[in-house]
């Protein structure tokens, strides 16, 4: 089942998956690291424009036959795919940990959440049913149908190499489209491995293709006329670039961007439960999650003192090391470059005057000194004018902001450029109801720090966290990956009707 190809250089290279076959470009390759060891474990081929166009051509050739296959038959393939994913879960999870670095339990959770979208896609016969109205006028019937778009593409980030692609291609394919995936070149092993499972499930060649690459591959997808729609998850600057570039060529786009997710801590909250919840929400996956809590807004100084005291002892005691060790709670950052970026933010926070209560900058994992490890960091007395508050750090860093009222806390959240996720910890139902009804954020939790919607709802933020009108997976995915056609029909009687020059109505 390997998608790794040996080439003349002697290196192992993760290839592309095009038209049911693994192929490898060797003109340009990039190193793939094990973040826990800091060592190169394989290389990945970076697709040329010609290779991406070959994938698009394969998808375009497969589309006419695939769109004619009944939703029931598509669902049967998807059911078989789900079974194969479950059978090969161990290999997929190991690939995620090997290339991304996250602990095995976190990789398993990512895989399961992606699998849930596959399960939802198995409901294609129900999801794609049209709407029918009889006798909308005298002897006239009207109905709507959901037609696929054609060839669509997805561009996905490094932080969820298995899950985020599964947010996209199962729904696109079940709707009758063909798909070209461009995963992150930092950890491409899982998506290319999964592509072969899809073929084993009975998916025709060309329906699902994977091209690994960098900006050259991305720009080809954004400007290629045969691509009808683009789905993207990543940082806000890139999301905005993708949205503007692809929509300028007439494509439908959903581009999910960055986040600065706040947790409001109310004085009546159970502080031990809050600390337990935020430990995972902040430091899980080393903070490399778009739904990670990165700001704790404490209402009242007394609460803030208690929270910082309890949280600091827990952060200092984090078990950090290689993801394959099941005793560890946090693994490394994805790369040396990203490690330096996060460390520079911590340095900046100190310069800006925030109180660095827990400093993880000098952490070293025993026997893994070359790994990209950082300890958990905790800042207190962060203010909204600081860059560590304004910008997405995407690392194991929590900023504590102190306010005196809930209204002040909500004003902070509403004023921020991002509106991805937020949560509140309270025992007061009235407070929770007011918060959920009025906060200007797309995904909201009450005593739930990571309010990621389940597969049969849809995932998406507000403001500069989402460019486009429709969110990822769930019901929005059916709308995004199809276009509506409405048919109005009448069969004339034998008598000849007179000409009518008024606008038709149903009278």
Which residues contact residue 294 at a Cβ distance below 8 angstroms, ignoring those fewer than 6 apart?
A: 259, 260, 261, 282, 287, 392, 393, 397, 398, 399
Q: CA-based angle 185:2:80, to the nearest 5?
A: 100
> Of 50, 40, 39, whose CA–CA distance to 13 is shortest?
40
> Of 147, 213, 169, 44, whose CA–CA distance to 477 is shortest?
169
Which residues contact residue 134 at a Cβ distance below 8 angstroms, ignoring those fewer than 6 apart?
A: 141
| Inter-residue contact 111 to 162 (CB < 8 Å) | yes
Give me Rg for the CA atoms of the chain: 25
Helix (H, G, I), strand (E, B) or coil at 331: coil
Which residues contact residue 10 at a Cβ distance below 8 angstroms, ignoring those fewer than 6 apart?
A: none
Q: Within a 13 Å sphere around the CA of 77, how many CA atoms are in the beta-carbon half?
A: 24
> Of 400, 407, 406, whose CA–CA distance to 386 is shortest?
400
Cα dist from 146 to 108, 228, 387, 482, 506, whole Å: 34, 15, 46, 6, 25
Helix (H, G, I), strand (E, B) or coil at 506: coil
Q: Is 399 a catalytic residue?
A: no
Residues 85-92: contacts with CB under 8 Å, at least 24 apart? 85/111, 85/115, 85/118, 85/194, 85/197, 86/115, 88/1, 88/193, 88/197, 91/1, 91/193, 92/162, 92/190, 92/193, 92/194
Which residues contact residue 131 at a Cβ distance below 8 angstroms, ignoring those fewer than 6 apart?
A: 143, 144
Could you list the beta-strand ranges (E) of 75-214. Answer: 131-137, 140-148, 151-155, 178-182, 208-210
Q: Is the dihedral of CA 44, 49, 54, 56 positive or negative?
A: positive
| Inter-residue contact 1 to 89 (CB < 8 Å) | no
From 122, 175, 290, 298, the catalytic residue: 290
| Inter-residue contact 368 to 321 (CB < 8 Å) | yes
Sheet containing 293-299: order of strands: 355-358, 377-380, 397-403, 293-299, 261-265, 421-425, 443-446
Cα dist from 92 to 100, 171, 190, 192, whole Å: 12, 20, 6, 10
Catalytic residues: 290
């Amino acid at each position: 089942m390997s998608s790794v190809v040996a080439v003349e250089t002697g290196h192992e290279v993760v290839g592309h998956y095009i038209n049911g076959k693994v192929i490898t470009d060797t003109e340009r390759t990039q190193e793939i690291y094990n973040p826990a060891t800091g060592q190169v474990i394989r290389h990945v081929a970076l697709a040329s424009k010609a290779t991406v166009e070959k994938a698009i051509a394969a998808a375009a050739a497969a589309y006419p036959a695939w769109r004619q296959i009944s939703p029931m038959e598509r669902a049967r393939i998807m059911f078989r795919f789900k079974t194969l994913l479950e059978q090969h879960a161990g290999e997929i999870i190991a690939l995620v940990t090997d290339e991304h670095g996250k602990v095995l339990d976190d990789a398993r959770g990512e895989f399961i959440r992606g699998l849930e979208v596959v399960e939802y896609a198995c409901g294609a016969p129900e999801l794609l049913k049209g709407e029918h109205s009889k006798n909308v006028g005298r002897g006239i019937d009207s109905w709507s149908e959901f037609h696929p778009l054609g060839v669509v593409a997805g561009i996905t980030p490094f932080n969820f190499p298995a899950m985020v692609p599964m947010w996209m291609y199962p729904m696109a394919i079940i709707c009758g489209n063909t798909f070209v995936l461009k995963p992150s070149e930092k950890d491409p092993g899982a998506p290319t491995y999964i592509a072969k499972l899809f073929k084993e499930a009975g998916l025709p060649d060309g329906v699902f293709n994977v091209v690994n690459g960098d900006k050259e591959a991305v720009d080809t997808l954004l400007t290629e006329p045969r691509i009808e729609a683009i789905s993207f998850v990543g940082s806000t600057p890139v999301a905005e670039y993708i949205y503007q570039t692809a929509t300028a060529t007439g494509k439908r786009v959903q581009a999910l961007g960055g986040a600065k997710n706040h947790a409001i801590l109310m004085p009546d909250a159970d502080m031990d439960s809050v600390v337990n919840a935020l430990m995972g929400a902040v430091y899980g996956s080393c903070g490399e999650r778009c739904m990670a809590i990165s700001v704790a807004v404490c209402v009242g100084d007394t609460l803030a003192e208690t929270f910082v005291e309890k949280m600091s002892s827990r952060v200092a005691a984090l078990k950090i090391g290689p993801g394959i060790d099941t005793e560890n709670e946090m693994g490394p950052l994805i790369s040396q470059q990203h490690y330096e970026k996060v460390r520079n933010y911590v340095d900046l926070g100190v310069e800006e005057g925030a109180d660095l209560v827990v400093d993880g900058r000098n952490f070293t994992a025993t026997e893994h000194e070359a790994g990209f490890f950082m300890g958990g960091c905790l800042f207190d007395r962060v203010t909204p004018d600081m860059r560590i508050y304004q910008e997405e750090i995407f690392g194991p860093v929590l900023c504590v902001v102190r306010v005196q009222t809930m209204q002040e806390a909500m004003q902070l959240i509403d004023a921020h450029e991002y509106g991805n996720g937020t949560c509140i910890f309270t025992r007061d139902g009235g407070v929770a109801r007011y918060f959920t009804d009025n906060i200007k954020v797309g995904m909201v939790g009450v005593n739930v720090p990571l309010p990621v919607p389940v597969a049969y709802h849809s995932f998406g933020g507000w403001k500069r966290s989402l460019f486009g009108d429709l969110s990822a997976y769930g019901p929005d995915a059916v709308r995004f990956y199809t276009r509506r056609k409405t048919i109005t029909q009448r069969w004339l009687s034998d008598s000849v009707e007179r000409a009518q020059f008024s606008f038709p109505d149903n009278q």
